[in-house]
Amino acid sequence: MSGLSGLNKTPNGVVVGMVQLQLPVVDTPAQLAAQKERIVSMVGKARRSYPGMDLVVFPEYSLHGLSMSTADELMVSLDGPEVAAFREACIEHRIWGCFSIMEKNPQGKPYNTGLVIDDQGVIKLYYRKFHPWVPVEPWEPGNMGIPVIEGPKGLKLGLIICHDGMFPEMARECAYKGAELMIRTAGYTAPIRHAWQITNQANAFQNLMATASVCLCGSDGTFDSMGEAMVCSFDGTVVAQGGGRPDEIVCAEIRPDLIREARVHWGVENNIYQLYHRGYVAVKGGAQDCPYTFMQDMVDGSFELPWEAQVEHTDGQSCGFEAPTRAYQGNETNLLDTPAQASLFNGSNGIKEAA
């Protein structure tokens, strides 16, 4: 399915490029501005090096680095200069792009946000990270759902961020909404390498869905990010994989037509269908119930692990953050702060579904 890393593009193929971007140091507004330009230049590199590329994907923290700073002068708004530059780059190079920002939040801590922008500069997907990597990350948990959009050439795609991918429910939700490709952007460091690989493969296989995942790469003098871009086919096999070389762009061709065929024609291991049709050989249509206690308990607000009272880390104090006092509010009624921000979407699928 890789098409020799996208060099041999087929009529049904969508070429995706994963940028193992050099881990930056961003402590000042000037460094933020310089990193914005660095990302813009890499969009140009992606287009020049792979003329057939349809979508270029940048890692989580590619704009901000791994400082975990929540300083207001470093946080980004949708209608700010950083997102405007990304939109212009997509227009100039006629390419879709996936970008990472730490987004200002007037109601609390910033959001860890991912954006997919089309080749006309329209924000098509807007996602706030569901599962910040606790206790390390200070970001507000996402409150907009997990949108799935129609991407380049009709490919249905979803986006999750880093730690999100350790929860099989996240990949299942993307696939349940129709995603044929799930993007996973990350800033992970080397200790997570094994878990990264097996979850990227499992998320693909369990949902008959391609996954394309990428981390930052290199060192900022404190942290060492691992790169490790991966594209997995719907059967869980790795079709393209990078290593630890900063700024390498790892490409593969995604074949949505083959994914659609598998979802329709597979009998054995069509697991996302069989989840709600278990045992259909024995009983007509299969058992269509919810036999999982944890699902029922989450819905009625009684989820509790058998070892819940013994869990030691329940806030971020071990990583230097004050214990929070504000409770989660759920879906916000005003997701976009200004009319200028709302106008960026121009009727895009992601925000319309979430709102």
Active-site annotation holder among 36, 109, 124, 129: 129
Active site residue 129: yes
Which single residue is written with the structure tokens 């369990």?
206
Give me 236's structure tokens.
């869980």
Residue 278 and residue 287 in contact, taking contact as beta carbons nearer than 8 Å: yes
> Whole-angstrom Cα distance, residue 186 to residue 211?
13
> Whole-angstrom Cα distance, residue 185 to residue 213?
6
Active-site annotation holder among 60, 103, 137, 140: 60
Phi-psi region of 128 (alpha: psi -120 to 50; beta: other; left: phi over 0): beta
Residue 307's H or E segment, with its range, is none
Selection from 110, 117, 24, 123 nearest residue 74 by Cα:
110
Residue 216 and residue 62 in contact, taking contact as beta carbons nearer than 8 Å: yes
Which segments of 224-280 does DSSP mark as H helices, in order?
Answer: 256-265, 271-274
Residue 183 and residue 157 in contact, taking contact as beta carbons nearer than 8 Å: yes
Active-site annotation holder among 90, 98, 124, 162: 162
Active-site amino acid positions: 60, 129, 162
